Amino acid sequence: MCAGCGRLAVRGAKFKLESFSMFRRVLIANRGEIALRIMRACEEMGVETVCVYSTADKDAPYLKMADRAICIGPGPSKESYLNIARLIAAAEIADVDAIHPGYGFLSERPDFSAACRDCKIEFIGPSPEAMQKLGDKVDCKKTARANGVPVFAGSLEAIEDEEEAVRVANEIGYPVIIKAAAGGGGRGMKVCHNEATLRSMLRIASQEAQAAFGNGSVFIEKYLEQARHIEIQMLGDKHGNAVYLWERDCSLQRRHQKVIEEAPAPNIDRVKLEQVCKSAAKMIVSAAYSGAATCEFLLDNKGDFYMLEVNTRVQVEHPVTEMITGVDIVKMSILIAAGERLPFKQEDIKIRGHAIECRICAEDPQHNFRPSAGRIDRWEVPGGPGVRIDSHVVPGYVVPPNYDSMIGKLIVHADTREQALDRAARALREFHVGPIKTTIPLHQRLVENTDFRRGGVDIHYLERLLKSGI
């Protein structure tokens, strides 16, 4: 967005923004690369930033870029980044207009959104009612069905006891998957191929969900042995408008955690895709949803879509969508929260080229992805046309052991998928980090992998590859 003319460019077209009151000061309730990403967006929009931090992050270099930094507690997340009372207190001390939750931590907690509203602080994301309707997987499935979005067969409500779980599984047939109703990321998720496994895993899944999300509710649905993971990026405003920014393929995963994402998805029926996109947009409008959202689907080998969930926040992999559409998703989420209407219509959203994102994690792939916390002395990042690095790391940065292991994202863009893969390979060869171990060597092998280059690998492909000794 141009601050001087108040216009937003999308792939060469310009859209006039209505007159509205922009936030004066925003608190960023997060850390690491997403905190820096939000900080940069705010600075370009002329908005002051307040960045919170735990004692584990007290020396993080990105804190110096904020207009103000406030310590909110010790290293453990529950005492800092997951502590609503401390975040609200920091927001009131700093006299902010709004809070941006980023992704992870409290970003999908309706009680955090509600606490912000109660304290007259704008939550940059959906209302607690919309978040509950789409963020809770049970409620979301009901809303999806009502709007023609395809979903899996499974329990209509949260599972109350073991016998109910067995009854549902027998009705839909094995294998089934147990899922946490209140969150994702693989936590509280268990695949069961028979009744014995289902009975043994049900309590474990509930306990994991309780620990991760403060909610032990789980549900059951049919499990696909082979499928691709396709997600659709949505934007909704406070005026009943919604658009989709097309899709991403996130099928290269390990233990339900994404490793590489790309947009658009290769080898996909785009007629079927567009039908699903339209039904997803209808669902977003029906839920009175405002902000960025991602509708996640599994695609079976027949080309049929089944919705998994809706992520009621900005996604880690949002940059690949930004690269192919020209829409700044972080800025748009801030504009929407401030009351701005979407400045474009669906027909204005065009796809240009291909983008690929590699999640760079401080892990050792040679030793079962063991976390590799510690000081980074060597940090040499790639550059050149079509190369983007989203990271908070600088030489001398110490990776703390307290949080997610991701230390950055490499995103590349090119005219074609083949060119994007070649560019990613070149960029990864230029990317040097040490002495800690990272997943860069794994990514180097993956972007050169014949099956991946062919396009359309399933969600279990990487785990099979790792077992074979890639």
Single residue among 171, 192, 222 that ends a domain in this structure: 222
- Answer yes or no: are the C-beta atoms of 189 and 137 closer than 8 Å: no
> Do 55 and 186 fall into the same domain?
no
Q: How many domains does the chain have?
A: 3
- What's the pLDDT band for 20 if we cut at 50, 70, 90? low
| Rounded (10°) CA dihedral 251, 253, 258, 264 | -20
Section 30-58 average pLDDT: 98
Task: Give me the catalytic one of 37, 86, 248, 313.
Answer: 313
Global pTM value: 0.91
Percentage above 70 pLDDT, the chain: 95
Q: Is 313 a catalytic residue?
A: yes
390 is a domain residue: yes
pLDDT at residue 3 in the model? 37
pLDDT of residue 182: 80
Same domain? For 179 and 204 the reply is yes
pLDDT in tens, 343-391: 999 999 999 999 999 999 999 999 999 999 999 999 999 999 999 999 9
Q: Are residues 52 and 78 in the same domain?
A: yes
The percent of residues above 90 in pLDDT, for the chain, comes to: 89
Kindly state whether residues 29 and 112 are assigned to the same domain: yes
Q: Does residue 1 lie within any of the structural domains?
A: no
- What is the per-residue pLDDT for 138? 85
The boundaries of the domain holding residue 205 are: 146-222
CATH number of domain containing 298:
3.30.470.20
119 shares its domain with 244:
no
Where b means 16+ CB within 10 Å and e means fewer, 218-250 reads bbbbbbbeebbbbbbbbbbbbeebbbbbbbbbb
